Amino acid sequence: MKLQRKGTRHSHRGVIGVESAIVMIAFVIVAAALAFVVLNMGFTTSQKAKTSIISSLNEASSSMQIAGKVIGSGYPNGSVLNVTAFPIKVSSGGGNINLEALTTAVRYVSNSLDYGDIYVGTLTGEYKSLAAAVGAADDAGNAGDETFGQIDADPFSSGDNDGVPTNTRAFIYFTQESTSNDILEQGETAVLAIVYGTGERPAALDKIKAEIIVPTGAALTVERQVPTITTNVVDLG
């Protein structure tokens, strides 16, 4: 009887040892699973944070930049500007920009004006001078183009009020393009032209500001002060 009780004790101790080992293994497996979940959640959170930071940086930085001097077409007899031209290009490392009127807007602000959107679209083809581009915009309007019909006069054809459009409008033309479309790509150069309407031409010492608002990236804002207008071509810096 003593031997039997003694053997029973050893048997119970063996069973308890196996059960303890099973419980410990179970705890280890659960702990490993929880650790994997926590690490996976950490990696996912880090990736989302990285994506958010990159997206925020892209939205905060402008996708365009000024590509040279801003100039104006002056009317010395009236001491006013008929047209201003802002050369633009894609910023270094930036992606393509859709300049369609449906996706892009141009805000114009001066001493007495604040227009939310004066943009009518892009001209097709390349133009090597501001005068040629404005003339083409006027011709397009005369030909019945609804978009450019708002540019109903060519200030380069006449220096007086007969050559001043009814409304202040902006359009973009390309001086160098890879593909003939509304997309501004790396290596291409475009110009934002603002043609001023009757009674809205900026004079000497006026401050003018153009803001190009595009679908992605921050808006490109350019501000200049109009100098004394004594020549037909005015350097705005």
Report which of residues 67 and 29 the model is more confident about: 67
What the block records as the tokens of 204 is: 């000497």
Q: Which two tokens stand for residue 11?
A: 């048997």
The strand pairing partners of 194, in sequence order, are: 84, 170
- For the chain, the helix, strand and coil percentages under 3-state DSSP, each to the nearest 5: 35, 30, 35
Cα 184–chain centre separation: 11
Choose between 33 and 88: higher pLDDT. Answer: 88
Structural domain spans, the chain: 1-60, 64-235
Nearest C-alpha neighbor of 161 from the set 77, 227, 230? 77
What sign for the dihedral angle of Cα 156, 159, 165, 171? positive
Q: Which of 55-64, 175-184, 193-202 has the lowest mean pLDDT?
A: 55-64
Beta bridge partners of 108: 115, 210
Report the alpha-carbon distance of residue 164 to residue 199 in Å, rounded. 9
Round to whole Å and give the CA distance between 201 and 195.
9
**pLDDT tens per residue across span 74-119:** 999 999 999 999 999 998 888 899 999 999 999 999 999 999 999 9
Please say if the pLDDT value at position 158 is more than 60: yes
- With contact defined as beta carbons under 8 Å apart, do 105 and 116 qualify? yes
**pLDDT, tens digit (0-9, with 9 covering 90-100), for 49-75:** 444 444 444 444 458 999 999 999 999
